[in-house]
Amino acid sequence: MSSSDNSVSKRGKGSRGWSWSSALVGAAAATATAALFSSKPRDPTFHLISIDLTSFNFNFPVLDADVILTVHVTNPNIAAIQYSPTEMSIFYAGSFLGSARVEAGSQPPRSCQMIRLPARLSGLELAHHAKSFLADVARREMVLDAAVDIEGAAKLLWWDHRFKVHVDSHVTVDPIFLDVIDQENQSHMELLLA
């Protein structure tokens, strides 16, 4: 028997030979894992595009205002994200002015989308800061601060990892026409181990 015949008989029916499909699946898994671990997660970006007044609610002796905040959100990461519902807190002169509801949702990898957030702003709180508010109206610039914590999960192939993003926004608006004049947004993402 030749040496080649001998090697064939040693493998027998029970042992496995080379498989291109197994090699390709292994290579794809290794490439995806390497890409996943070599790409550092990046913070998403948030930009307030517009504030639209939808209604006034008369709560004697002041008016509350219902508005829609249109926010441009960018996910720069290679993984799709899903996030839970949350509330954005809005402040004026250091005091709580109102909140905007962020519904649960998702966003594809490396994408941008517009989300619309309904919010209610307290006229009573503006009344407590009447002097500052009237000065802001006179110079047509009003500074609002907002903060939100968003929790969710990023998913890529079999990898599903939870995260938390904290966003602080400092927005200057025209208090008469509610135009966005200037803004500064800072976000920080934290990967959750549990």
SS (H, E, C) the chain: CCHHHHHHHHHCCCCCCCCHHHHHHHHHHHHHHHHHHHCCCCCCEEEEEEEEEEEEEEECCEEEEEEEEEEEEEECCCCEEEECCEEEEEEECCEEEEEEEECCEEECCCEEEEEEEEEEECHHHHHHCHHHHHHHHHHCCEEEEEEEEEEEEEEECCEEEEEEEEEEEEEEECCCCCCEEEEEEEEEEEECCC
The predicted model scores a pTM of 0.73
What mean pLDDT value characterizes the chain? Answer: 81
Confidence band, pLDDT 50/70/90 cuts, at residue 89: very high
Give residue 193's pLDDT: 67
CA distance 43 to 38: 16
Lowest-pLDDT choice from 5-19, 149-163, 179-193: 5-19
pLDDT tens sequence across 121-168 = 988 888 889 899 999 999 999 999 999 999 988 876 666 778 888 999
CA distances from 80 to 25, 121, 145, 154 (A): 22, 33, 28, 6
Q: Which of 47-61, 64-78, 134-148, 158-172 has the highest mean pLDDT?
A: 134-148
Report which of residues 22 and 82 the model is more confident about.
82
Residue indicated by tokens 């930009």 = 47
CATH of range 42-191; options 3.90.550, 2.60.40, 1.10.3470, 3.40.50: 2.60.40
Burial class (CB in 10 A: 0-12, 13-18, 19+), 126: buried
Residue indicated by tokens 């802001």 = 136
